[in-house]
Structure 1
């Protein structure tokens, strides 16, 4: 059987939460393997809506084990608050149902401070971060000065690690004209957190290895998306971690081959949050319509998303970078009633056609989309659960997208409701 990784194939917000929830009924384990609480997943189950940021989507399903892998950066205060919020909605979250990797890096208040201050420096490139400390926490991880979840169990070592961390951050804060962090105060805060966090902590790679050997189905849940990958995305307008499928194994501690099927999630149009290039963006009434009809607002930030037509060049690139086996095409119903629909099939750069998203800022700013136009459909596709319920022109649109991105559509989502899904290919194939 295939363990499945769910990966965003655009700039995020593609509807991964619904798809992960839909798949999680058939998986025994759901793993988050990168990112932090800057990633929002909205799950609609019956008459209940759950908004998650850090917790894996599996937490809302009884009998599922959820794991926060070592590739994730964890804000412990937010973690406890999110557990409290979900518990108030009737979901049982305990150390038996949720595990955090001992070597996941902690996000501290000083990371949030730095994240916000940098965004406010005049004359610098504005990334449009969520100001939640994710980037600075990853910087400390790479700088080998981070405090990790398991460090909370070793007070004497924790003191030394705090001193090492503050030798960097307090010098930086002084240079920015900001107050320094008191080591004893931070030490006391973390000691207070320890008994609340440590019951969830373990070496999750070992548990995952045993679960894999026992034949348990594992679902790897990605946050953000391919074009926000720190290496392969629209740098510097990216997140601070690797978001591609290969990170599923690195960020969970599993060996090569742990992922058997990569499911790429893509909207039937395109959205983006924050700054950065967006060749197919629509700044007209159609872009407004897509945003309003698709409820394109950030799950955690409330920021309005930029909207545009489907970019087949970008998704084709994501297919190759991730080794995507099948596409889950979401929000098809948002396009209902449009007389004409466009798809970007190539870019023009300096008078020449190119078939890839360029990686330099100058080229990204200059590319112009080359369009292919499609006839729209008047009928409603909302709630459709089989191809027989889709208009002919809609099916033609879906089939053409398959050709353009070089990958078959495995799932079609026609509303936020989990049952409103057309299954073409089962990712959890036996």
Structure 2
């Protein structure tokens, strides 16, 4: 059985959880390998809606859900999600947590919020959940890891050391109250007993599973164009949600990855600041937002909406070695007479047909559109490609040509069963 990576090809919120969920009970392990609770997955199973922020979507399937070392963990959020799912009858007892995952401490959230306010109009548009500061501490080698919870003296020393400088910054630069290291340590240690049974050598367990022929799905958060190295920097996340991040974020080698599934929404959305060439600031944009329910799973913020941009998706497919694309929310486009699709950008009077590397070019890019015929039929009940209206089929095939990657799955509604599979994502 293969190792499969599921990644977003746009700016997040593409419906990665839905694609992962399609693999269902065939999956032995579902691994969240990057990000924190600044991301979210919304799943609809048997008419019930589940909003997940930190837990992998595989928590709703029979396999083992895993939080890898590349994730930063807010313990309060983790156990709030677990308790909420348990209250609804979901068994979370199989959850595995990497000993090497870093913890989002209370002071990370404070720093995240005051820094954004301080930046003013230059703000990045973070969620204020402490993800960036936690990753910064990780890189600065002053982070606190899950395994540190299991040694009280070590934890207290690390918290105290981390706050020596941070309290100076909070008090002298941001005019905030200093944070008491003892209070922070006490709060973190209050979760130690619940954490202890979950902690494992995730890298070893996943490699053993792959050696034994188990199916392991690596589930990214955010998306390619929010990657700290390859996205629209600085308007990005603080980690590597690209396919290669599955290796560093879980401890498996690149030769263990057999298939890369890229998720693309049938239009485009973005949350937060940053360039967005096909963004719509008119009635069509608002219509997409309302019809698609485009409000953040984690933040509730309204998402910026625009037409499908193949240049964005093609770049992600190329740089990640995407083998299959899963197209979501196709049903939302029902009712438009003509549907624009971006086929290039005009930049300084020149037409380009590939996504630019220079941020200045992306900011200046004006979309060049091709107009495809729309459809009015309700497609939410379609379960085969042939059941889609001819113009809807033509829309999908044209996107396939422009992104230069086969479309293997299509989402036609929010439900787990509202999917058309053109190619199996495993075989």
Q: Is 2:174 the partner of 1:172? A: no
Q: Is 2:136 the partner of 1:139? A: yes
SS in 2 for 1:234: coil
User: What's 1:121 paired with?
Assistant: 118
Separation in 2 of the partners of 1:16 and 1:428?
A: 16
Separation in 2 of the partners of 1:122 and 1:321?
A: 32
User: What's 2:75 paired with?
Assistant: 76
SS in 1 for 2:65: strand
Separation in 1 of the partners of 2:39 and 2:120?
A: 27
Q: What does 1:224-239 correspond to in 2, within 5 Å? A: 224-239=222-237
RMSD across aligned positions (CA):
1.2
User: What's 1:418 paired with?
Assistant: 416
1:124 to partner: Cα distance? 4.8
* Normalised TM-score (structure 2): 0.97
User: What's 2:326 paired with?
Assistant: 328
1:344 to partner: Cα distance? 0.8
User: What's 2:261 paired with?
Assistant: 263
Over residues 171-222 of structure 1, what are the superposed CA-to-partner deviations in whole Å (9 max), with x where a residue is unaligned? 2212222111212222222222211222211111111111111110011111
Contact 1:234 1:359 in 2 (8 A): no
Separation in 2 of the partners of 1:366 and 1:293?
A: 29
SS in 1 for 2:122: coil
Separation in 1 of the partners of 2:125 and 2:197?
A: 35
Q: Is 2:183 the partner of 1:185? A: yes
Question: Residues 122, 136 of structure 1: CA spacing in aligned structure 2 closer, same or farther, 3 A cutoff?
Answer: closer
Query: Once structures 1 and 2 are overlaid, which stretch shifts more, 160-169 or 395-404?
Result: 160-169
1:341 to partner: Cα distance? 0.5
Contact 1:280 1:309 in 2 (8 A): yes
Contact 2:56 2:67 in 1 (8 A): yes
Q: Is 2:200 the partner of 1:214? A: no
* Normalised TM-score (structure 1): 0.97
User: What's 1:104 paired with?
Assistant: 101
Over residues 43-90 of structure 1, what are the superposed CA-to-partner deviations in whole Å (9 max), with x where a residue is unaligned? 1110221110000111112x3100000000000111111101111111
1:156 to 134, 140, 153: 153
User: What's 2:303 paired with?
Assistant: 305
1:122 to partner: Cα distance? 5.0
Instruction: List structure 1 runs of 4+ shifted beyond 4 angstroms.
Output: none
Is there any run of 5+ residues in structure 2 with no aligned partner, and where?
none
1:250 to 245, 248, 251: 248
Aligned residues: 426
Separation in 1 of the partners of 2:181 and 2:417?
A: 51
1:424 to partner: Cα distance? 1.1
User: What's 1:292 paired with?
Assistant: 290
Contact 2:106 2:184 in 1 (8 A): no
Separation in 2 of the partners of 1:385 and 1:3?
A: 27
SS in 2 for 1:271: strand
SS in 1 for 2:138: helix
Is there any run of 5+ residues in structure 1 with no aligned partner, and where?
none
User: What's 2:3 paired with?
Assistant: 3
Contact 1:5 1:221 in 2 (8 A): yes
User: What's 1:392 paired with?
Assistant: 390
